[in-house]
Amino acid sequence: MQTSIKYRAIGAPNRKPFYVLPFLLGVTLMFTFSKLGASKTQSPSHVYELRMYHVNPGKMEALIARFGDHTDAIFKRHNMKSIGYWRPEDAPNSENLFIYVLEHRSRDEAKKNWAAFQADPDWKKVKAESETQGPLADHIDSYFMDPTSFSALK
């Protein structure tokens, strides 16, 4: 006899499972940053940018390929250091959410980096070629973050 267990937050019967994602993302970021914190080359003046792409149906593999084959290399040319890229393990987020973190020297540098990236002829070509069948993402959430005083990554 197989038993099925359902978990539900106390006092929140209508919450959807995707509310767990921010918690899991936080845990993932803490783990990643703790691994990076061992590096002696980190400067306390850096800012981190969390970006979450809400991917259009059926476009996840194309988006991942674009990042792996082109975007990451273009980021490097524009002083945008990739800390990591993630795809949630469980559906539906595994099908429609792509997450990554970039490091910039400052918010001002991030603004300059993004402007240079968006104007890059290689990026414009890659984006156009990858979106001949429509945009890969519906929208993008972006958050700038500073490490806390007790963070392993400073």
**pLDDT tens, residue by residue, 53-89:** 999 999 999 999 999 999 999 999 999 999 999 999 9
20 inside domain:
no
54 inside domain:
yes
21 inside domain:
no
Domain ranges, residue 57: 47-145
126 inside domain:
yes
pLDDT: is 51 or 37 the higher one? 51
> With 0-12 CB in 10 A as exposed, 13-18 as middle and 19+ as buried, what is 150?
exposed
CATH of the domain at 54: 3.30.70.100
> Quick check: 152 and 33 in contact, CB under 8 A?
yes
14 inside domain:
no
78 inside domain:
yes
Least confident piece of the model among 24-28, 36-40, 47-51: 36-40
The structural domain count of the chain equals: 1
64 inside domain:
yes
pLDDT at 24: 52
154 inside domain:
no
